[in-house]
Structure 1
Amino acid sequence: MRADLSKRPEQVSAMFDQVAERYDLTNDLLSLGNAPLWRIATTRAIDPRPGQKVLDVAAGTGTSSASIARTGASVVAADFSPGMIDVGMHRQWRHPNLSFVEADATNLPFRDGEFDAVTISFGLRNIVDPKAALAEFRRVTRPGGRLVVCEFSHPPAKLMRAAYGLYQRTVMPALVRLTSSNDDAYEYLNESIANWPTQRVLAGWLREAGYERVQWRNLTEGVVALHRGWVPAA
């Protein structure tokens, strides 16, 4: 099954159900070994502390959630794909401070100000209304809490952009055929990356949602960007 860029939630959810079992393996391969480094950078940006409560949205199989949970924080891994959650619960059962919840990012089943931090990795661009999701993330974050968004982006250097574009067009499809159970799913994901806004535009979306001290830094020359923002203190 192939989702289109209209991002109908049930269509995207079904697509992720189909790739759940081999999702982490495929992503590690497609990132050329950078995925664990991006995960470390994201966890450091969140700066979770023991006793704090962190929401990881679009958590998939919980790989990033487990990284956060190792710090001693209590982590809720939320995803709208039941298939991803099933795989995640099976793989991450060793973490007593990690729980999984099926949830829509634009209508989260949590109280206002329930979390010290909210994070989303490589999932914001798959949400039908990312601005609504950002507003919802702010709602469930306590005053003074923070948001961390790790997402594919656009390399600012012309040479790197050209090299990355060549990789997406030629190398990536070949790797997907070797590892993925659904080639069409990764074709959709490739298109969603190309159509995603720049770092500066996404930073503007965070400010529109009410975050302050918004900043970003590029990882892997801008193939990925890490955005942070804080909810104004009470």
Structure 2
Amino acid sequence: MSWAGTGEAYAASYAALCAGTGERLREIAGPARDRTLLDVGAGDGTLAAAWTHAGWQVTAAEPEPSMREAAAARHPDLRLVADGLPGLTFGDRAFDIVTANFVLNHVPDPRAAAAELRRVADHLVIATTWSSSPTTLWADVIARAGLPRASGARLPAEKDFERTSDGFARMLADAGWHPEVDELTWTWLAEPDALWRSVAGGVAGAGAYYATLADTDRRRFRAAFDELVADRLDGGRMPITQTAAIAVERLGRRRSSAPVAGIRPR
């Protein structure tokens, strides 16, 4: 899946969804105390800016130019670098904390990428992935439109991992982590126009699918989307419930039997 050129569409749509983990991640990390943090795959900078406002010394690493442009426009004081997985240019243990929010589910080699996150972290590394995501919404739209099901781009079997909390934990363990994993479920109250902009702008799997459709099928897709919105709209917004798996490793403290607050060992 290519994210090229999707920065503005992502910023106007799924950036708000992905930011739903932010409060929990900051709770896990604790007070900033002037510590350094690397946010890998920072997208439009929403979470990186929130870390900055909480007192962290933040570096936002994002390889996609359109995402960096969106981030710079919205957060001009944010330190942005053109860097990303699978090979970060930073030295070993370069940052107190390293975060990757919904990144490992998009890379071609999740284990190599996870090992790289761990390499540049000194005290703490946190990563998230979807256990349940808005892809079900678009599957419903496709079914209502009578269009062929999206096949979804899957990784080769030896690279992929089961998209559950336990599967995420096993993948990270393969990458050298000693993870503690828990789940966070919340409801995103989405603006229908923002959802449509994500698809029309080519964001994520639904956007990639829509881009392959002929004009006639695009009209069927849009009509089905409008019908589904009419069925599910609540107070002008679409409530969409999803679940994220949140994995944490506190480096150098693996002998401790005390779990991270809000996280259960796996």
* TM-score, normalisation: structure 1: 0.70
Asked if 1:170 corresponds to 2:136, the answer is no
Q: Which residue of 1 aligns with 2:261?
A: none
User: Which has more radius of gyration?
Assistant: 2
- Kindly provide the amino acid, as one letter, of the partner of residue 181 in structure 2: Q
Letter in 2 for 1:22: A
Look up the match of 1:148.
Answer: 126
Among 110, 118, 139, the alignment partner of 1:130 is: 110
Unaligned runs of 5+ in 1: 4-11, 156-163, 175-186
| Corresponding residue SS for 2:105 | helix
Q: Larger helix proportion, structure 1 or 2?
A: 1
Aligned counterparts of 1:36 and 1:46: Cα–Cα separation in 2: 16
Partners of 1:207 and 1:214 within 8 A in 2: no
User: Partner residue of 2:50?
Assistant: 67
How far apart in 1 are the matches of 2:253 and 2:91? 17
2:5 maps to what in 1? 18
Provide Cα deviations, 1:111-166, integer angstroms capped at 9, x if missing partner. 11111111111221111111111111111111xx11111221149xxxxxxxx775
Q: Could you tell me the percent identity over the aligned residues?
A: 24
Alignment coverage as a number of residue pairs: 191
Residue 98 of structure 2 is matched in structure 1 by 118
Unaligned runs of 5+ in 2: 145-149, 155-160, 187-240, 255-266
* Counterpart Cα distance in 1 of 2:136 and 2:253: 45
Is the contact between residue 46 and residue 147 of structure 1 (CA under 8 Å) also seen in structure 2?
no
Deviations 1:73-97 (A, max 9, x none): 111111110111122112111x4xx
2-side partners of 1:114 and 1:172: how far apart?
45
Residue 27 of structure 2 aligns to a residue whose secondary structure is helix
Contact 2:59–2:81 (CA under 8 A) maintained in structure 1: yes
Q: Could you tell me which residue of structure 2 aligns to residue 200 of structure 1?
A: 166
Letter in 1 for 2:172: L
Tell me if 1:40 matches 2:23. yes
